[in-house]
């Protein structure tokens, strides 16, 4: 898991021109990129192909959550795009998570399959209302599902890594900011602090995408690490 490219830039755009202009302004040697529901719903596999052609490895952030057969078929389709990383939502349960891993094996894919735990937007009160338990308890339930299914790692807040308390797994952490703007996340954290808490990869969006000089912003983050 010793990977020098720690940063995954979230391409949170709603149009192809903005994506293209941004991707052309950065260096695939410095980062990977994340394609989420908004872009993939609008442009489909073509957006993956376009960004691959520019040399970037892609985290396809679709958080699959459905019955096991549907998730298996969706993962087969996703892995066929030669993505670097894919995720499922662990609240779909053990059988669903196993089906996702089976899809990876059946495709003989080297892609990383990771599981979403409690969304970083959810507070303790939110988890009680939704799941009937505190956030820490929900994290432990979903961790156990992920471990039993033998997924490659977890999507979580850096603050949750200690609660998950597992070794030899990837931790992909959103909510990373170079300032204190929380936006849609319940808590945010700096890149340095996130790595100290055990993050493997840092998902960073606006701090880079809204910078007047994205390359400079990327290099400054790496220098801080």
User: Which residues are the active-site residues?
Assistant: 63
Tokens representing residue 190 in the block: 């700096």
Task: Tell me whether residue 121 is exposed, middle or buried, using C-beta atoms within 10 angstroms of its C-beta: 0 to 12, 13 to 18, 19 or more.
Answer: middle
Tokens representing residue 219 in the block: 């290099």
- How many CA atoms lie less than 13 Å away from 141 in the CB half-sphere? 15
Helix 135-149 and helix 124-131: axis angle, to 10°? Answer: 70
């Amino acid at each position: 898991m010793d990977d020098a490219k720690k940063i995954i830039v979230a391409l949170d755009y709603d149009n192809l021109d903005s994506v293209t202009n941004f991707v052309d302004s950065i260096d695939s040697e410095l980062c990977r990129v994340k394609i989420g529901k908004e872009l993939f719903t609008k442009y489909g596999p073509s957006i993956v192909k376009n960004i691959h052609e520019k040399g970037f490895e892609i985290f396809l952030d679709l958080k699959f959550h459905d019955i096991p057969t549907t998730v298996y078929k969706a993962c087969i389709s996703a892995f066929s795009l030669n993505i670097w990383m894919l995720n499922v939502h662990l609240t779909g349960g053990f059988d669903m998570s196993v089906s996702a891993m089976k899809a990876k094996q059946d495709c003989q894919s080297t892609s990383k399959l990771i599981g979403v735990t409690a969304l970083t937007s959810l507070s303790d009160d939110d988890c009680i209302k939704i799941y009937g338990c505190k956030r820490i308890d929900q994290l432990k339930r979903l961790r156990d599902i992920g471990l039993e299914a033998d997924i490659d790692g977890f999507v979580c807040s850096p603050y949750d890594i200690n609660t998950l308390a597992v070794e030899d797994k990837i931790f992909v952490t959103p909510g990373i900011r170079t300032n204190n703007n929380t936006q849609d996340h319940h808590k945010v954290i700096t890149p340095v602090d996130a790595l100290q808490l055990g993050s493997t990869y840092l998902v960073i969006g606006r701090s880079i995408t809204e910078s007047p000089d994205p390359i400079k912003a990327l290099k400054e983050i790496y220098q801080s690490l």
